Amino acid sequence: MASFFFAITISSSALMASLLLLLALFAVNLRITGAQIGVCYGMMGNNLPSAQEVIELCKANNIVRMRLYDPNQAALEALRNSGIELMLDVPNSDLQSLANPNNAGQWVQTNVLNFYPAVNIKYIAVGNEVKPVGDSTSWMAQYVLPAIQNVYQAIRAKGLQDQIKVSTAIDMTLIGTSYPPSKGSFRSDVRSYLDPIIGYLVYANSPLFANVYPYFSYVGDPNDISLPYALFTAPNVVVWDGSRGYQNLFDAVLDSVHAALDNTGIGYVKVVVSESGWPSDGGFAATYDNARVYLGNLIQHVKGGTPMRPNVAIETYLFGMFDENQKSPEVEKHFGVFYPNKQKKYPFNFGFSAARHWEDDIVTIKNASAPLRSDA
């Protein structure tokens, strides 16, 4: 009889161990595949928490990805061993310097290699929204590709080109045709700037970073774009593009970027949404409720895909971490998902709580298994 109970004990223990392993693997997989949302950490405010407080706030709210607009040393130190994946920007002001290979190598050593892998740097964004024609940033455009290549070569010299991807972030003003999405194309006057960059991205297997704001599309054309279409709340398909139906503006804009890349004929390039958000005050349609609805729906929506790229999760960075009172115009001050006092502005989580619940369930099962073994 004792041997019979001993056999049941071993069998039960083995079954429980197998179950725990499966749950652990599922939780890890859920955390990896579900963690599509990051947050952009801007610092243009005179009332913001310390970098260490910000990283602790991210961890407390299950934010596992971050964009940092410059290599702020306090923030990089605070990110050590946090597990947070980082998109690190080369500021536009550094582009001309990093067009020199020696300067780029030093920048990478100081801001990347001195912190990696304790800081989980995943991307380097070389320049943000540089516009090659008719803009105050246009003079910088000539330096973007050389800076990208030099940073890439410095990363490659350390054998990290598969771990740390180097790219640049564009805005939607570079899109010439966006409707219908399948006809998306870049403006003819920016192709000489973009095509060589796209060629590099294909070579390096790096994504293009795109700042996608349905808010600005809507406020620019509220007569032809409905608010529900911009907020993910349209009850039915709004735009048909052949066999593809678009029920929200985010997908339509993003697919116009996909099409613009494809229509260059250079090669396949993935798109990472490096910014998206909705302001809660300061301008037309900038209300708390609109921002809450847009952001909450965006977090859920990016777990899937777009009509042109179905069933492919969309890595997306919310803009921004805090309301920043030193930005202008007024509407730019109200994009934060947290107030400067670290209080959440909106009730939603950031898409990762399910993984934590499964981890909690594993502990529960472990505790519940003890009586089963002792009974034997």
User: Where does the chain show beta strands of DSSP type E?
Assistant: 37-41, 65-68, 85-90, 120-128, 165-170, 175-177, 185-186, 208-211, 239-241, 244-246, 271-276, 316-319
Closest CA to 195 of 132, 151, 140: 132
Cα distances from 4 to residues 18, 71, 171, 372, in angstroms, run: 21, 64, 70, 15
What pairs with residue 210 in β-bridges? Answer: 170, 273
- Catalytic positions, written as ranges: 129, 275
Q: Whole-angstrom Cα distance, residue 131 to residue 174?
A: 7
Cis peptide before 101 (omega within 30 of 0): no
For residue 257, report the phi and psi dihedrals to the nearest 5 degrees.
-70, -45
Running DSSP on this structure, what letter comes out for residue 109?
I
CB 298 within 8 A of CB 316: yes
**212's tokens:** 């996608």
Q: Whole-angstrom Cα distance, residue 30 to residue 289?
A: 30
By DSSP bridging, strand 271-276 and strand 316-319 are parallel
CB 120 within 8 A of CB 80: no
CB 49 within 8 A of CB 340: yes
**101's tokens:** 């290979």
User: Could you tell me which residues come within 8 angstroms of residue 167 by beta carbon, excluding any fewer than 6 positions away?
Assistant: 123, 124, 125, 126, 148, 201, 206, 207, 208, 209, 272
Crossing angle of helices 2-34 and 353-375, rounded to 10°: 180
Q: Whole-angstrom Cα distance, residue 169 to residue 154?
A: 20
